[in-house]
Homo-oligomer: A and B are copies of this chain.
Amino acid sequence: MILTVTLNTALDITYRVRSLRPHASHRVSDVTERPGGKGLNVARVLAALGHEVTATGFAGGGTGRAVREGLADTPGVLDALLPIGGATRRTVAVVDELTGDTTQLNEPGPQITPAEWGAFQEVYGELLAGASAVALCGSLPPGVPVGAYAGLVRTARTAGVPVLLDTSGEPLRRGVAARPDILKPNAEELAELTGSHDPLRAAQDARRRGAHAVVASLGADGLIAHTPEGRWHAAPPARMDGNPTGAGDSAVAGLLSGLVDRLPWPDRLARAAALSAATVRAPAAGEFDRATYEELVERVAVTAEVTAA
């Protein structure tokens, strides 16, 4: 089974309004809710690809109950979330019907107690015993130490389980030093970590900081990978129009799926880039369009990069 960790799960709410105007009152014409947080998005895509997935992290309060009810309706994802005293955060995406643009409001997340964090680390260790790979995804809720991912990376490496890290800011800086097998930042996170806006140079720097391999998502430009086996650029055959929400999480799912299927790097990258593009194309945010994926996975161009090392 593949394990995904989402310490700051969310109830993702999407509102449709005619046009968002600051300081006005708006009638919401349509409301949708689903379990969110990057690791849960990764779990959903992995399950849709046919993998056995276990999702762990924290959930609490009425919003946590809604997240767990949503997970129970997702075939193939085993719910191993730990109950907490606080309430799972909400995110609210307000979609303008006129322009299609989205305004995002993200709650900070519940306060995690030291006892809850301790209990999580114990459960995480037990779950790793049955895992073929683990993904550590997203922000940390208040109360979880900033070095949390560094510790979880080390535990996975000690257990011999390949570990992918996808986070930002200081948790990323600390986490990379613990030597994760794969680091999956986007261009902005990679630039913040390294100070370089040249993705290949920055990926190389991130490897020097500890990551075994770095795969950076560059939006419509696809993915670049900097690994001990080589350097590649994976790009879909055409730019996709649509909603990029969750595209990075689908790339993570593609990388893990290719890893546990023992694919060579170029095939892993094709899978990740095709899933990412098929997510942009799907009508609902964070879902992927299966027909688009199956068509694209054969057509993604993966080219070896030959730049100054």
CB of B22 within 8 A of CB of A96, answer yes
**Interfacial chain B residues near A99, Cβ < 8 Å:** 23
Q: A25 — nearest CB in chain B belongs to which residue? A: B104
Within the assembled complex, what's the spacing in Å between the Cα atoms of A106 and B16?
A: 11
A103 proximal to B (CB < 8 A): yes
Please report the total number of A residues contacting B with Cβ < 8 Å.
Answer: 31
Stretch at the interface among A61-69, A145-153, A265-273: A61-69
A1 proximal to B (CB < 8 A): no
Q: Taking the nearest CB of chain B, how far is it from the CB of A108, in angstroms?
A: 7
CB of A28 within 8 A of CB of B65, answer no
A177 proximal to B (CB < 8 A): no
CB of B105 within 8 A of CB of A26, answer yes
Q: A31 — nearest CB in chain B belongs to which residue? A: B107
**Interfacial chain B residues near A101, Cβ < 8 Å:** 22-23
**Interfacial chain B residues near A21, Cβ < 8 Å:** 22, 103
Binary CB contact string for chain A from 89 to 116 against chain B (1 if under 8 A, 0 otherwise)? 0101010100101111111100000000
Q: Taking the nearest CB of chain B, how far is it from the CB of A33, in angstroms?
A: 9
A29 proximal to B (CB < 8 A): yes
CB of B96 within 8 A of CB of A27, answer no
A240 proximal to B (CB < 8 A): no
Within the assembled complex, what's the spacing in Å between the Cα atoms of A28 and B90?
A: 10
**Interfacial chain B residues near A63, Cβ < 8 Å:** 62
A24 proximal to B (CB < 8 A): yes
Within the assembled complex, what's the spacing in Å between the Cα atoms of A107 and B13?
A: 11
A15 proximal to B (CB < 8 A): yes
A22-B22, A22-B96 as given contacts; A29 in contact with B108, CB under 8 Å: yes
A20 proximal to B (CB < 8 A): yes
Within the assembled complex, what's the spacing in Å between the Cα atoms of A104 and B27?
A: 8
CB of B62 within 8 A of CB of A28, answer no
CB of B108 within 8 A of CB of A15, answer no
**Interfacial chain B residues near A27, Cβ < 8 Å:** 106, 108
**Interfacial chain B residues near A90, Cβ < 8 Å:** 13
Known: A22-B101, A26-B104, A62-B66. 11 other contacts (CB 8 A): A15-B107, A20-B22, A21-B103, A22-B22, A25-B104, A28-B105, A28-B107, A31-B107, A31-B108, A62-B62, A92-B92
Which A residues are within 8 Å of any B CB, using their own CB?
13, 15, 17, 20-29, 31, 62-63, 65-66, 90, 92, 94, 96, 99, 101-108
